[in-house]
């Protein structure tokens, strides 16, 4: 006689696929964005004066007009170049300086008051100096973005190194490993998650730096377009520049998150 319990068909537990989870998340994110735009459109059409809030339909028309003329690419390329170069320079200098400060702790303690003072300084105050030193061209905007992001990398790298277990590092030193080898093989892989977190934070800061530089002195860029639109009381133009900046930040953050998952997959 066959045991009824053992003969019963086995029910396999449901498996959640990573692709399915991401598809569901993307669907809900798209739905939320569409609902937000719909509410904005309704409020702008029937509740508020479009002069104050504009509407997504008007912004879409402006984007199409700018794209046809080539102005959208012209302004986006300027802002992306400024922010990208500032982010790249800030990451290289910030990671290097952070490693040095973590290595030479006594010197870091001596310089800490001045460093934290510079970190707390609103970088907008430096914009006129950058304009005086570098003019209104590309270098001033790059340095503005650089000043916004470099401290983020320094502080995150220092904290990441301090959180490490020191025993493997001390063991490698007793075995004669050089500082360069330890940094390349131990420190950088160990603090990679801290560095990638710095990138995610710094994407928006780099765009802010480029935007501030363009607001103070420029002849192109999304910041310049927003300032010109505000001077002409063109609310749709202001919102168009803001929407493009938001889209750039969203795409850049998703790219950084994807790269971060790929690089830190070995930790799983």
pLDDT digits (tens, 9 = 90+) for 30-48: 899 889 989 988 888 888 8
The answer to whether residue 10 is domain-embedded is: no
Report d(CA 211, CA 243) in Å as an integer. Answer: 14
State residue 17's pLDDT score: 52
Residue 4 has pLDDT above 70, yes or no: no
The answer to whether residue 146 is domain-embedded is: yes
The answer to whether residue 82 is domain-embedded is: yes
Nearest to 233 by CA among 54, 37, 44: 54
Within 13 Å, how many C-alpha atoms sit on residue 126's CB side? 19
Q: Specify the CATH number for the domain of residue 236.
A: 1.10.3720.10
pLDDT, the chain, mean: 83
Convert 95-132 into a string of H (helix), E (strand) and C (coil).
HHHHHHHHHCHHHHHHHHHHHHHHHHCCHHHHHHHHHH
Residue 19 — pLDDT band, cuts 50, 70, 90?
Answer: low
**Residue 97 structural domain:** 56-267
Report d(CA 4, CA 8) in Å as an integer. Answer: 6
- Helical axes 222-231 vs 71-103, angle rounded to 10°: 120
The answer to whether residue 245 is domain-embedded is: yes
Q: CA angle at residue 239 from 234 to 241, to 5 degrees?
A: 100
The answer to whether residue 61 is domain-embedded is: yes
Looking at the structure of the chain, the number of domains it has is 1
The answer to whether residue 6 is domain-embedded is: no
Summarize the confidence of residues 151-172 as an average pLDDT.
82
Share of the chain above pLDDT 90, in %: 34
The answer to whether residue 40 is domain-embedded is: no
Model pLDDT for residues 235-268, shown as the tens digit of each residue: 999 999 999 999 999 899 889 888 888 877 765 5
The answer to whether residue 207 is domain-embedded is: yes
Model pLDDT for residues 168-178, shown as the tens digit of each residue: 777 777 777 77
Residue 11 — pLDDT band, cuts 50, 70, 90?
Answer: very low
> What pTM does this model have?
0.80
Residue 224 has pLDDT above 60, yes or no: yes
Report d(CA 92, CA 157) in Å as an integer. Answer: 11
State residue 61's pLDDT score: 93
Residue 21 has pLDDT above 60, yes or no: no
């Amino acid at each position: 006689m066959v045991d009824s319990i053992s003969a019963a068909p086995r029910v396999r537990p449901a498996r959640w696929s990573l692709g399915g989870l991401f598809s569901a998340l993307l669907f809900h994110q798209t739905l939320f964005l569409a609902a937000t735009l719909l509410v904005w459109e309704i409020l702008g059409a029937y509740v508020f004066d479009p002069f104050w809030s504009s509407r997504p339909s008007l912004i879409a028309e402006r984007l199409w007009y700018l794209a046809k003329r080539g102005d959208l690419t012209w302004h986006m390329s300027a802002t992306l170049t400024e922010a990208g170069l500032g982010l790249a320079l800030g990451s290289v200098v910030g990671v290097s300086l952070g490693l040095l400060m973590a290595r030479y702790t006594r010197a870091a303690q001596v310089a800490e008051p001045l460093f934290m003072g510079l970190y707390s300084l609103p970088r907008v105050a430096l914009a006129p100096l950058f304009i005086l030193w570098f003019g209104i061209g590309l270098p001033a905007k790059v340095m503005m973005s650089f000043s916004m992001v470099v401290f983020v990398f320094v502080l995150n790298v220092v904290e990441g190194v301090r959180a490490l277990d020191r025993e493997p590092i001390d063991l490698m030193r007793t075995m004669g490993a050089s500082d360069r080898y330890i940094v390349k093989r131990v420190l950088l892989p160990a603090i990679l998650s801290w560095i990638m977190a710095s990138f995610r934070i710094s994407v928006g800061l780099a765009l802010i730096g480029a935007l501030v530089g363009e607001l103070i002195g420029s002849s192109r860029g999304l910041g310049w377009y927003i300032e010109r639109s505000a001077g002409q009381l063109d609310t749709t133009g202001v919102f168009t520049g803001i929407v493009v900046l938001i889209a750039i930040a969203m795409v850049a953050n998703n790219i950084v998150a994807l790269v971060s998952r790929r690089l830190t997959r070995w930790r799983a």
